Amino acid sequence: MLQSFGFSLYESKVYEALASSSEPLDAAMVVKHSGVPKAKIYEVLNRLVEKGMVLDTISEKKKRYTALPLASLVEKLTQQFQSDVKQLTSSLAQRTVRDDRVWSLKVAESIRAECKQLIQRATRSVRISAWEDDFQEFVPLLEEKERNGVEIEALIIGQNHTQLSHVHSFVPAKEHEGLERYQLIVIDQDELIFAGEEQSGWQAIKTRAQPFVKFFADSFYHDVALTRITQKHFDLLFDDDEIRSMLIRLRY
């Protein structure tokens, strides 16, 4: 009976003999009713006592044994199983290897789908930067995430038409006409997608490698800061040809 729970054949036979007896048994009687060899009986009985499966006592100068009641046995095995599962789960979780590889992805539709899945996985924060028309596709999901307590901060290249709380918008000047489209999404300071448009179409990288995540997160805040500074001091900055030339070369 107990073999399916990891007990030996002899342990199972001894427990069954004790459980089916109406009174405690000494070692000799256990041998008789269980069929376990006499040379092994004390070793098996001691193991079961140590495992909490059998109770022992001294009665009439003899050591006698009785089985743990079935209800208690079921409770014990259930708790032990749950504890073992919890320990196994914890052990496997600790051994999970972080995927720090940099993955490449092509085709605009695939990139958009993966961007949405990335935003959906966010539990703490989303940093997103994109052109206005591309950004609009993510707005419903971002607004839902913000309502659920996820911190959303966005930088839009173009006008802002959302109800999100933390949005920065940058409207390119005429000199920015050659500015290439891109999308950047960083979630939970843990994972990112960066996509850019080239002549052959959209291409993207996706990674959880922390050096890349930190670099692109810093890049996002660089662009936000540059946007805010430019908006606040636009006339001063763009009236200076040298500074204007430097600003135009920056990605935003």
Which tokens in the block code for residue 38?
């006499």
Q: Are 118 and 112 in contact (CB under 8 A)?
A: no
Q: CATH for 2-94, among 3.40.50.460, 3.40.50.80, 1.10.10.10, 1.10.3720.10?
A: 1.10.10.10
> If you average pLDDT over residues 17-25, what whole number do you get?
91
Task: Note the pLDDT of residue 247.
Answer: 57
Average pLDDT, the chain: 86
Most confident of 67-71, 198-202, 238-242: 67-71
| CA dist list (Å): 125 to 53, 55, 119, 186, 239 | 51, 57, 9, 8, 37
CATH of domain 102-249: 3.30.870.10
Place of tokens 């001091």: 233
Residue 195 has which token pair? 């996509």
Cα 226–205–99 angle (5° rounding)? 115
Task: Write down the pTM of the prediction.
Answer: 0.58
**Whether residue 155 has pLDDT greater than 70:** yes
| Cα distance between residue 230 and residue 167, in whole Å | 16
Average pLDDT over residues 47-68: 90
Q: 1: pLDDT confidence band, cut at 50, 70 and 90?
A: low
- Span of 93-97, 110-114, 163-167, 176-180 with lowest mean pLDDT: 176-180
Q: Choose between 229 and 106: higher pLDDT.
A: 106
Write the burial class of residue 154 (CB in 10 Å: 0-12 exposed, 13-18 middle, 19+ buried): buried
User: Each residue of 81-132: pLDDT tens digit?
Assistant: 888 888 887 776 666 677 889 999 999 999 999 999 999 999 999 999 999 9
In the chain, domain spans: 2-94, 102-249
Task: For residue 70, report the phi and psi dihedrals to the nearest 5 degrees.
Answer: -55, -45
Average pLDDT of the segment spanning 61-81:
88
Biggest alpha carbon–alpha carbon distance for the chain: 108
Name the nearest CA neighbour of 3 among 84, 46, 11.
11
The whole-number pLDDT of residue 246 equals 56
For the ranges 11-20, 74-83, 116-125, the lowest mean pLDDT is seen at: 74-83
Rounded-to-integer distance, Cα 152 and Cα 167, Å? 8
At residue 161, the pLDDT reads: 83
pLDDT for the residue numbered 87: 83
DSSP string computed for 31-68: HHHH---HHHHHHHHHHHHHTTSEEEEEETTEEEEEEP
